[in-house]
Structure 1
Amino acid sequence: MHFPGQDKTETHSLGTGQHRKTSESDGDSHPKLLHPLSKSGYKHEHPKGPLEQHGFLSSNNKDLDKTPWGAVDYIDEDTRSKVKGLDHELPREKDSGQFSDVCHQEKRQKDMGAHYSFTKEEVLPTRRPDHGQSFLGVSIDHLKKTDPTHPMPQLRPSPEHVVLVEVSTVRPGSIPTPYKGRLADIWNQDYVKMPHSQHNLYECNSAFTGTKCRWNLITKALGKKMSSVHDIENAIKSYNKKYERTWKFNALHGFFTSLKAAEREYHLTVVIPKMAELALKLPNICPKPIPLLKKGHQRAITMSQQQVACLLCNAFFCTFPRRNATQGSSEYATYPSINFNRLFDNENSNKQEKLRALFCYFDQVVNDMRTGLVTFERRKLSCKPKNWSKSRAKFTKLHVSREGTIEEKGEGMLQVDFASPVVGGGVLGSGLVQEEIRFLINTELIVSRLFTEKLDDDECLLITGAEQYSRYQGYSRDFVCEGAMRDETPRDYWQRRCIEIVAIDAIRFRDPRDQFTRASIERDLNKAYCGFLVGSFLPQQNVSVATGNWGCGAFNGHPKMKGLLQLMAAAEAGRDVAYFTFDDSFTMKELHEMHLFVEDRFTVGQLFTCLKKCCKAKQWSTMSSFYDEFRSEISKM
């Protein structure tokens, strides 16, 4: 369906704050843009630099020479952390762009800790080098990618791998038949409590009628015609009486108000009724009990894209029982939220863009149901702790680029989701950074929140087959849904899109210096290794890893440390690395130089031993000097 005012020029995201336009003459190098749900004529005129992205410049302050930093367009995390609390109007040498000798040395030492020493140079902004190159290291074409024709064993269910479809019906272009074997209405702590269960009861108002099955109430509410957002709200509240006065739908109302009349009419008369119809088919589409992927247990679930769509439609209409309580003592306190009620609350521009992306998904699946499978696999490292000091692994190939995104340029690779321990993070709330964006555009990822318990330090979640349904530009407050897209990624033998996404959560540091401890290094190294390790449980190709500044930003990790740890974990797992710095030429150069220094000279074990030694002695004086001092120390080995 085409709406008036559709712009035939696509704007493709190239990472945080970086965009380029491609016209239709670009050919088939990018999937076709379907009818957009984006605001008409919305375009970013310029990419935001790191200063503006992180709140150091207002959007109105484009003249960097008028800021205390002078003509500086890049300041890394460690420099920013060190100048925090200083007098930002420090005198500068004339025409030099450098600070004068007035550096408040004693104040910095007091603020940042006695065991670190600071020099005048370390508080200076780090200029972004202009290399001209968009990448360093090997060409991305030289990295191993998924081969869709790679032989795979027959898909078979097992106690550790629950398959929700009849495997004999899995074939190209055909929606797999839901499992038809012996069924049971299971209502316990090991399985998802389903909306259509006979155990899902509600208390009637009358003392004489007792309790009734909630699914009957849901069926009645969603079976009615919904011609307005108020009708949607009233339907959801009718079977969630406990929250009738507390749940607000401001964001949902705001989203529909923001749509053009034709779009609003289309969604209310076509998409929403089909979503309700699909949601009510739950007993037939998902008859087999869905196990919870509980911590401490390695297990996988494979389901059809139709089953995912049915479950997500139920999440939209907030039908899942026992998933609304937020107290720490509640039954699902260690699981993510799944019902969409928090997304509908508290209107803001971010939530409107989230809903645009989600409706790109719902619009497509209710009108053109996908025919493949998706696998969700919880992985856990072996019980025996890994002795990193004894690793003899050599470093693998590295492609590091300041351009491109993980999902775009990392096609055919193992793509890293910079996860929260609770998978999906704030995707159904207010969060809108790397993980939330990935869950929005590859919408089928959201269903993992239904059954995946909070990840432990030695666990990860691997999702294979989740399609991308929309395009975007921007990041966080600047995120904009650019409209729907059709994912043409090839499918493997199990009819899963050849898209592997691994959710690994880094430590969130309150004090950035805490990452330079042995415990922190070992924990994040193990976490990355768990995500990168080629699985023996389910078949997996040893393709390259597509990653970036994992655990940085809001988690306060330092790109130099996190980059090195990921290179070490990938080397141990035997995978090459494509590393995307999101328009950060400085980190691109630094990581490449470190890789050149270690790749043929040292093993992973030697690097770990040096890291351990430096941490114990608090060897480096600053985060910005970490690579230089680390190189000096390891050269002595």
Structure 2
Amino acid sequence: MARRNDSSKVKDCFYVDDSDNGDGQMGTKNARSSNLTGDLMTFSDQDEQDKSHPSQPNQFQPLDCSSDREGDQKSSAALGSNTEEVCRNLLRPAINAVHQETKSRETTRRNIEDQDGHPKQTTGRNAGNQDDESKETTRSSSTGDKDRETTRSYPGATYQSLQAKAKRTPASSDEEQPMDEDGMRSPAIVHQENRRPPNETWLSNNKEETVLSMSPGGSIPRSQGEGILNLKRSSPSCQMPTLQPSMNHTVLVEANKIVQGSVPAPHRGRRTDAWDQEHVKMPHSPKNLYQRDRSFLGVKTRWSMITKALGKKLSSPQDIEKAIKSYNKKYERLWKFDALTSFFYSLHKDEQQHYLTNVIPGMARLVLGLPNICPKPIPLLKKREQRAITMSQLQCACLLANAFFCTFPRRNATQGNSEYSSYPTINFNRLFDEENSSKREKLRAIFCYFDQVLSQTPCGLVTFERRHLHGEHKDWSRSPKYFTKLHVSSEGTIEENGKGMLQVDFASPIIGGGVLGSGLVQEEIRFLINTELIVSRLFTEKLNDDESLLITGAEQYSHYDGYSRDFKWRGPMRDTTERDNWQRRCIEIVAIDAIRFHDFEEQFKRQNIERELNKAYCGFQFAPLLPQERVAIATGNWGCGAFKGHPKLKGILQLMAAAEAGRDVAYFTFGNTEFMKELYEMHRFLQNGYTVGQLFNALMKSCKERDWQNMPEFYNELKSKLLLSRM
């Protein structure tokens, strides 16, 4: 794709360019052989050809198989009508080569282990909704054998050659290694156009790049593919259009009075209350009534009870419990506060005193300020509607303080016939009940958030945008899109290494999952550290199969370690991410929910594959409602682990959806080095000019023939069918 000049920069940020369909990113060379066996040509042989031929423009040329087709037709006529069997016979050597490559790699790995005397070892946790597949690393033999010549099967190069290239980089092992923009120690990077491992070659903007990211010991690659710094990230320099409310976009602040560094003023319209089915029913509404008995004299507004209870001094967790129960009489004997009480007693005396004398009173003031901070009715983001809400971070804090003190009416009943049965819970009562270590860590993160916003009021905005495909489901079998760039890494996290990208939340259809209960996996952790995400539970109805939720501007307030039961809050974080001209942090998080499978083989049925593709595309699509930059996607093992999705299938489905949306991908395998290499090799194969439609058809055939019964060979079977499709 031709490079645009600076004058087209703003346009490129917001509008789809019909020419931007991946044509410039196909990753193939004109020097490739035109016959089918050329697809399996070793890259070392290809490099020999490159030396003898002048470089060609970065433009894919379709393989010319006309001569092969004529020969096949003659063979088919001679051998009979079973043309598919003929094709298989003709391609058998090529197909066998694909399988042999995997077997050779496994054999070499075992030989190395036998020579070194070290078994393979398993690396860290598999974060996110992940599969429990084995993740392996290999050790160096011993200190004395450091320099021993070891050859391990690796795409196009030996470990010895890769290490030798790493040694030629400017930074030596004795020098301080530079830090990249994500705050991580920079890997050994080889960027030599004339000397490169053949299978590490990528085509980008008509320029060949070789990027090899090694682990600190230099023994195992921690990332492959396109350099992560080469993927597009959001930039404040890309100016957004002026913030304006519309029929589908509710703005809760004075849009024309936004000043950098100042808290946005709330919008005060003519209508201050909306007690109906289209808006959030607010605690301060005059229609929020409490009826002590059946007589008229026993009726009073619940808001008067809230102001009275929270106007008193709250000097202990028991005082907090008493205050909350005073305006939730129906649940006085049902709600328990064991977790909240245990949390306060687990704190150091000084920290406990700080929370009770400073943070809790500040939160109570936020609650009582609700009529002035949020005077405009808040619409519900309902099913089958494409709608957005933009509010200030102060308004987020006010709403979350009300959720902490359980003031939202009609939101405590969870029965199937209740008014808000298709919405998440928002009041914090479930977080306060049964005590366990996970809830203590959750409360740590939540109090850390309130401590920060009370000490320094945030000045930005946050946008919540519900997306819906509106019947625009793709015919995946006919998609002409080529695959975009891929960076795949066994290390790093979506939120840290995917800064400035479209970051995927492995969501539940009920947004936020169990963040206010006992859940503590990828989605819940993200909602705890980017605490403003919890506000989405107030107004977002359960997601349909063709819907997603995009949140822009939610700030990160906490550091953490671990996952699930091992999750630990590690302290406050000051987020320094730049803001756009709407004063939102340049942080985009898209919530897409995968199917929870009870039977492993169900995920390989056509309707389920199409559903997952449409769900991912709904999240990845470009600016259906509000303006947006076409940044890369940061994702991982979406819908795996407890949801029983397989990473190999979910990986290529996300690559297909990203290609359809015209976005590059940064994929984090969370310690699974083997899967990192397999996904990279599959993607490299697909860049030989294959389209999303071709892969979809091969996938359908593979699933029909039940190739998933042998998952280690699943990608090789797909490659075989793609080769057959070119006959």
Relative to the length of structure 1, the TM-score reads 0.80
Cα offsets for 1:29-85 (capped at 9, x unmatched): xxxxxxxxxxxxxxxxxxxxxxxxxxxxxxxxxxxxxxxxx86527994868xxxxx
What is the deviation of 1:617?
3.0
**2:672 is aligned with 1:623:** no
What is the deviation of 1:512?
1.5
2:584 counterpart SS class: coil
**2:161 is aligned with 1:73:** no
From 549, 561, 569, the equivalent of 1:473 is 561
Give the Cα separation in 2 of the matches to 1:173 and 1:218.
32
CA RMSD of aligned residues (A): 1.8
> Any conservation in 2 of the 1:286–1:307 contact (CA below 8 Å)?
yes
In structure 1, give the amino acid aligned to 2:365: E
From 328, 342, 351, the equivalent of 2:439 is 351
Give the Cα separation in 2 of the matches to 1:252 and 1:293.
31
**2:486 is aligned with 1:398:** yes
From 419, 433, 436, the equivalent of 1:331 is 419
Give 1:125-274 correspondences, 5 Å limit. Answer: 132-205=220-293, 207=295, 209-274=297-362
> Any conservation in 2 of the 1:360–1:484 contact (CA below 8 Å)?
yes
> Any conservation in 2 of the 1:403–1:581 contact (CA below 8 Å)?
yes
> Any conservation in 2 of the 1:620–1:629 contact (CA below 8 Å)?
no
> Any conservation in 2 of the 1:78–1:558 contact (CA below 8 Å)?
no
Give the Cα separation in 1 of the matches to 2:268 and 2:290.
29
What is the deviation of 1:209?
1.5
> Any conservation in 1 of the 2:131–2:637 contact (CA below 8 Å)?
no
From 650, 664, 671, the equivalent of 1:576 is 664
What is the deviation of 1:631?
1.4
**2:353 is aligned with 1:304:** no
Structure 2 partner of 1:29:
none
Structure 2 partner of 1:508:
596
For residues 620 and 632 of structure 1, do their structure 2 counterparts lie closer, same or farther at Cα, with a shift above 3 Å needed? farther
1:563 counterpart SS class: helix
What is the deviation of 1:186?
0.9
> Any conservation in 1 of the 2:316–2:356 contact (CA below 8 Å)?
yes
For residues 413 and 399 of structure 1, do their structure 2 counterparts lie closer, same or farther at Cα, with a shift above 3 Å needed? same
Cα offsets for 1:252-279 (capped at 9, x unmatched): 0111111000000000000000000011
What is the deviation of 1:131?
5.8
Give the Cα separation in 1 of the matches to 2:617 and 2:133.
29
**2:472 is aligned with 1:387:** no
**2:479 is aligned with 1:430:** no
Pair member with larger Rg: 2
Give the Cα separation in 1 of the matches to 2:490 and 2:464.
31
What is the deviation of 1:620?
3.8
Cα offsets for 1:503-562 (capped at 9, x unmatched): 000111111111111111100011011101111310000000000000011111100000
Give the Cα separation in 2 of the matches to 1:376 and 1:77.
30
From 495, 506, 513, the equivalent of 2:583 is 495
Structure 1 partner of 2:698:
610
Give the Cα separation in 1 of the matches to 2:711 and 2:220.
26
2:655 counterpart SS class: helix
> Any conservation in 1 of the 2:482–2:687 contact (CA below 8 Å)?
yes
> Any conservation in 2 of the 1:214–1:239 contact (CA below 8 Å)?
yes
From 550, 558, 561, the equivalent of 2:649 is 561
Structure 2 partner of 1:30:
none
> Any conservation in 2 of the 1:278–1:366 contact (CA below 8 Å)?
no
> Any conservation in 1 of the 2:441–2:568 contact (CA below 8 Å)?
yes
What is the deviation of 1:601?
2.6
Give the Cα separation in 1 of the matches to 2:321 and 2:131.
43
In structure 1, give the amino acid aligned to 2:382: K
Structure 2 partner of 1:595:
683
Cα offsets for 1:563-610 (capped at 9, x unmatched): 000000000100000001111101111110110110233000100111
2:724 counterpart SS class: coil
Structure 2 partner of 1:282:
370
Give the Cα separation in 2 of the matches to 1:79 and 1:362.
39
Structure 2 partner of 1:635:
723
**2:401 is aligned with 1:317:** no
Give 1:76-91 correspondences, 5 Å limit. Answer: 77=131
In structure 1, give the amino acid aligned to 2:443: L
In structure 2, give the amino acid aligned to 1:185: D
Structure 1: gaps of 5 or more residues: 1-69, 81-129
Give the Cα separation in 1 of the matches to 2:500 and 2:219.
28
> Any conservation in 2 of the 1:78–1:623 contact (CA below 8 Å)?
no
> Any conservation in 1 of the 2:249–2:387 contact (CA below 8 Å)?
yes
% identical aligned pairs: 66
Give the Cα separation in 2 of the matches to 1:355 and 1:77.
28
Structure 1 partner of 2:428:
340
> Any conservation in 2 of the 1:463–1:500 contact (CA below 8 Å)?
yes
In structure 2, give the amino acid aligned to 1:530: C
Structure 2 partner of 1:61:
none
Structure 2 partner of 1:376:
464
> Any conservation in 1 of the 2:559–2:572 contact (CA below 8 Å)?
yes
What is the deviation of 1:219?
0.4
What is the deviation of 1:210?
2.9
> Any conservation in 1 of the 2:384–2:470 contact (CA below 8 Å)?
no
- Report how many aligned residue pairs link the two structures: 522
What is the deviation of 1:464?
0.2
> Any conservation in 2 of the 1:78–1:624 contact (CA below 8 Å)?
no
In structure 2, give the amino acid aligned to 1:523: R
Give the Cα separation in 2 of the matches to 1:422 and 1:206.
36
2:477 counterpart SS class: helix
